Every structure is written in C-alpha cells, then in structure tokens.
Chain A
Amino acid sequence: MNKKRDKLEVIFDILKTINSHHNSIKPTPLLRQSNLSSSNFTEYYNELLSKDLIKEIKDNKGKKYVTLTDKGFRYLEKYKLILGLIHEFEL
C-alpha cells in the first residue's frame, strides 16, 4: 500500500475510534488507540481539526474531549465508497 492511501486509512481509524467511544474521547486515550507516534498523532490531530472532521469540547470541569463533526461522520459513512472511487479510477 502506498503512503497516501495509508493516510486515508489512518484518518478513518482515528474517526472510528472516536465514534466507537460514543463520540467523546479524551486526546490521550485517542493517541494510545491510534497506534501512532506522538509526533505523527499531533500532525494528524491538527489536520483533522483544520479539516473540520473533529472538534474539541470541554466539560464542566474543563477537561478536553474530542468529538466528530458532521463532516467527520460523513467521512466514516463515505469512506468505503471513496476508496472504491480511488481504486476504480486508479487515482
């Protein structure tokens, strides 16, 4: 598999992890479950924030949680179709 394809998969895995935790997880357990190095995770995390796929929220105690945005949910929903498109047209 190529590097860029892996990137889509990594993003999918991060989003899936958030979703499987009832759409609310702290950044540290998310880092642990993403199987990425800390620097790689930070890179992906910032990218997902900038692409508006995830957002940070704070609870009453000021603790930070990560949740999916509507766009994040759409990514999860469309991921297999997008992979199909990429394979079909050899992109």
Chain B
Amino acid sequence: MIEPSLMFGTELLFTVIAVIFCFLIYFKTKESYELTRHEGINYFRNAFLFLGFSYVLRFLWGIMMISRTTFEFIMPREMFAFLFILPLGYFSTISIFYLIHGSVWKNSDDKKFLILSHGIAILLSVISFITRSPLILLCLQCALLCIVLLLNFAKPHKKTKISQIKVLYILIAALWLINLLVIDQMRPLPLEISILFQITSLAVFAVIYHKILKWVK
C-alpha cells in the first residue's frame, strides 16, 4: 500500500515544478511576441500556458481520486467531474494542437486549422465529461497524437528528418499522456515508475526552458 501522503507529496511537488516551468516559458517569451506579433511565437507560448493549466487540473483531478481511496473524506465526484474534466480535456487538447500549430502554421490555413483544433478539443472534453473518464480522454488524445505524427512524418516523397526540437515536442505530448494515465483512479503504474516519468517530464521542460533563456536575455 502506497503511503497517501507520499503520493500526494510527489504529485504536488511535480505539479508545482511543471507549472512553474510552463508559466516561465510563457512569460519569458512575452516580450518577443509583443515586439513582433509573430504567430509561431504566439502558438508556442499559448501551448505552454494551456499545458500549465492542464497540469493544475490534472493535479486537482488526482486529489479527487486519492480522496476516494485513501483519505477519510469523499468529494462528490459528479460535481467535480464537471468542474475538472471539461477544462482538463479542452486545455490539454488545445495545448497539443498549439504546439503542433507553432511549427506548421506557415504551411497551413491558419483559420481553418484553429477552428478545427478548437472543435476537436471541445468534442474530446465533452466525450470525456459524458463518460466521466480521463482514460477516454487519454485514448482520444493518444489517437490524435498518432494521427498528427503520421501526417507529419509519413510523407513518401520527402526525406523528413526529425529535428531535436520536434523530438522534444513529441516527448512533451507523450509524457502528458503518460502523466494523465498515472493519475487515474486505478493507478496502473507503480509509484516508482510514475516518479521516473515525472522526472523525465521535468527534464524535458528544463531543456526547453534552458533553450529559451539563450534567446530572451
């Protein structure tokens, strides 16, 4: 049996550091965006803003789950599912879309892509709300990520080289999905493995933040 306070402590620490990284990335790139109004920078920083919100909501959802199984109080699940799952589904999906859009906006129809992104994000959050399950959200986002990766890299006539930064983007999305899985009520992964994924996530955020610091002196 995992000590609840240990579980709570690691989740809290991970969330605080992850959210700080996300918001630091957002605020550090503020001046670059304000000076240029560059669409790519806009999508990039919004991706991290929404990812930060998603991690906060993920933590709150996790607390609700822990409260059902380990603490002495039980929160009314239906009420909180409404409060958390809808924005969690929307923010996390749109952050993944913004991350993708930041790299492909020059070659795509901006408005159509954005409308489609928001539409899919709303659809996914509504589906996960109706089913009351972040696992459904996880599966849908996983499918979405696979489709995007296939569309991006499966171009038969082009030699597509995956750059280091694209790998980091994929890692951010993949680790988000794993961290969402970890927080589920059934806790499918042992705490040690969860912590390992959390450390990896923080390392990815740290690498991105370090790269940003080079350009925002």
Binding site for B on A (CB under 8 A): 2-4, 8, 11, 51, 53, 71, 74-75, 78, 81-82, 84-86, 88-91
Q: Is the CB of A91 within 8 A of B35?
A: no
Q: Which residues of B contact A (CB under 8 A)?
A: 29, 31-32, 35-41, 43-44, 102-103, 106, 163, 165-166, 211-212, 214-217
Known contacts A2-B106, A4-B106; is A88 also within 8 Å of B214 by CB? Answer: yes
Contact indicator A86/B41 (Cβ below 8 Å)? yes
CA distance A68 to B1 in the complex (A): 66
User: CA A40 – CA B134 in complex, angstroms?
Assistant: 50
Known: A89-B211, A91-B38. 19 other contacts (CB 8 A): A2-B106, A3-B106, A4-B40, A8-B36, A78-B31, A78-B32, A78-B35, A81-B217, A82-B32, A84-B214, A86-B38, A89-B40, A89-B102, A89-B103, A90-B165, A90-B166, A91-B43, A91-B102, A91-B103
In the assembly, what is the distance between CA of A85 and CA of B128, in Å?
Answer: 36
CA distance in complex: A82, B216 (Å)? 8
What are 10 inter-chain pairs, A to B, with CB distance below 8 A?
A: A2-B106, A3-B106, A8-B36, A8-B38, A74-B35, A88-B214, A88-B215, A89-B102, A91-B38, A91-B102
Interface of A is mostly: helix
Contacts of B212 in A (CB 8 A): 85
Q: Which residues on the B side are within 8 Å of A89 (C-beta)?
A: 40, 44, 102-103, 165, 211
Contacting pair A84 B215 (CB below 8 A): yes
In the complex, are the beta carbons of B215 and A51 less than 8 A apart?
no
Is the beta-carbon distance between A51 and B37 smaller than 8 angstroms? yes
User: In the complex where A91-B102, A91-B103 touch, is A81 in contact with B216 (Cβ < 8 A)?
Assistant: yes
Tell me how far the C-beta of B198 lies from the nearest C-beta in chain A, rounded to whole angstroms.
Answer: 24
Are the C-beta atoms of B41 and A85 separated by less than 8 Å?
Answer: yes
Distance from A74 Cβ to chain B, minimum over Cβ atoms (Å): 6
Contact: B35 with A82, CB < 8 Å? yes
Greatest chain B CB density within 10 A among A11, A81, A90 is at A90
